[in-house]
Amino acid sequence: MTKADHKSHALQVRHALWNLQKEVLNSLKEEFDRENGYQSAPTEWFQTLMNAERYAWLRELTSLMADVDIMTELDFITEQHAATARAEIDRLLIDHAKNTSDFTNSYKELLLSGVALLPLHATLRATVQNLPKVEMTKDQSLAERKAWHEEHRHQSRKKRN
């Protein structure tokens, strides 16, 4: 597989992740509005998301989304980059049997609640299959994600000069 293929597949995964995250947030907002008996303003909902402990589990997804964005902005996406993205997405969103984090438990509950997440989850699973698969520990994949940021900073500095 070429670097162009990795870039193309990574962009498809990024798009699928964005769609999934958007639906997660929409579903949670609808639930929040129902509980409160009114439609909250965007600023109120944003403040609630940022400050309410009940939504702290979303930080893992937000962090992964930010890192995948950084990775897809790199000049070249290597097989290792793509494999790391797959490992992290599998760990967080796909392989629920191995992961019992707060995120996984909350996400699984939301996924099974009947909201429109299931088709988007299936799409993400299908797009992730196009990325190379390697076994790596959580610590290894987190180190790789940090390396994406350093590589991105280096490329940005290089482009400015």
What are the pLDDT tens digits along the chain (161 aa)?
A: 566 788 999 999 999 999 999 999 999 999 999 999 999 999 999 999 999 999 999 999 999 999 999 999 999 999 999 999 999 999 999 886 666 788 888 998 898 887 689 999 999 999 999 999 998 998 999 999 999 999 999 998 888 87
Task: State residue 97's pLDDT score.
Answer: 67
- Residue of 80, 86, 79, 109 lying closest to 14 (CA atoms): 86
Task: State residue 102's pLDDT score.
Answer: 85
Task: State residue 84's pLDDT score.
Answer: 96
pTM: 0.88
Task: State residue 61's pLDDT score.
Answer: 93
Task: State residue 2's pLDDT score.
Answer: 64
